[in-house]
């Protein structure tokens, strides 16, 4: 009895190669995360068939054996690429989680600072608008940019007339 029984019928040989090739193709994705598991699964799965096809020695079986070897090489490459892609995805995912956490902290700090700024602006406006003393704010060239209502009363200007005037 043959140690590697394989039918001499070409359709049966093609069927067997397709079934085992399908198993290897499925394993390329499934075992790709365990770098060496794919090799440990696929080589013992398909190598006996390749050897048996070569031992038959006929042209079609030899061609099938070489195509199976080529297929196995392509599946190794596919498995390595799937490993790289999945590994990079995990790295990006966990890197992005850290980035998102940092962005959340920065947003919380920005919100806190904006709240403090709004409070400070409200206090400034309350003092500016209710002070009995005239308050005039001018730029470096002496042009009035802002004034409070008391300054308008003191200098006898209507509301908004002082803006743009020179000191």
DSSP result, 62-79: HHHHHHHHHHHHHHHHHH
The structure tokens 């770098």 sit at: 35
Please indicate whether residue 13 or residue 144 has the higher confidence score (pLDDT): 144
> What pLDDT sits at residue 11?
84
pTM listed for this prediction: 0.52
pLDDT band of residue 1 (cuts 50, 70, 90) is very low
CA proximity to 50, closest of 39, 65, 64, 40: 65
Confidence of residue 3 (pLDDT cuts 50, 70, 90): low
Ramachandran region, residue 96 (left: φ > 0; alpha: ψ -120 to 50; beta: rest) = alpha
Cα separation of 139 and 167, whole Å? 10
> What percentage of residues in the chain have a pLDDT greater than 90?
56
Q: What is the pLDDT of residues 75-95, one digit of tens each?
A: 999 998 988 898 888 888 877
pLDDT at 36: 85
d(CA 138, CA 144): 4
């Amino acid at each position: 009895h043959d140690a590697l029984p394989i039918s001499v019928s070409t359709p049966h040989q093609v069927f067997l190669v397709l079934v085992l090739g399908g198993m290897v193709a499925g394993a390329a994705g499934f075992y790709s995360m365990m770098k060496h598991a794919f090799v440990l699964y696929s080589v013992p799965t398909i190598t006996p068939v390749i050897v048996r096809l070569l031992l038959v020695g006929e042209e079609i079986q030899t061609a099938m054996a070489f195509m199976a070897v080529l297929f196995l090489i392509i599946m190794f490459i596919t498995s390595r690429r799937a490993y790289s892609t999945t590994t990079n995805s995990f790295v990006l995912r966990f890197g992005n989680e850290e980035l998102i956490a940092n962005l959340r902290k920065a947003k919380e700090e920005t919100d806190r600072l904006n709240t403090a700024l709004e409070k400070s602006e409200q206090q400034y406006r309350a003092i500016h608008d209710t002070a009995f003393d005239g308050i005039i704010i001018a730029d470096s060239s002496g042009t009035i940019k802002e004034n409070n209502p008391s300054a308008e009363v003191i200098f006898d200007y209507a509301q908004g007339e002082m803006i743009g005037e020179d000191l």
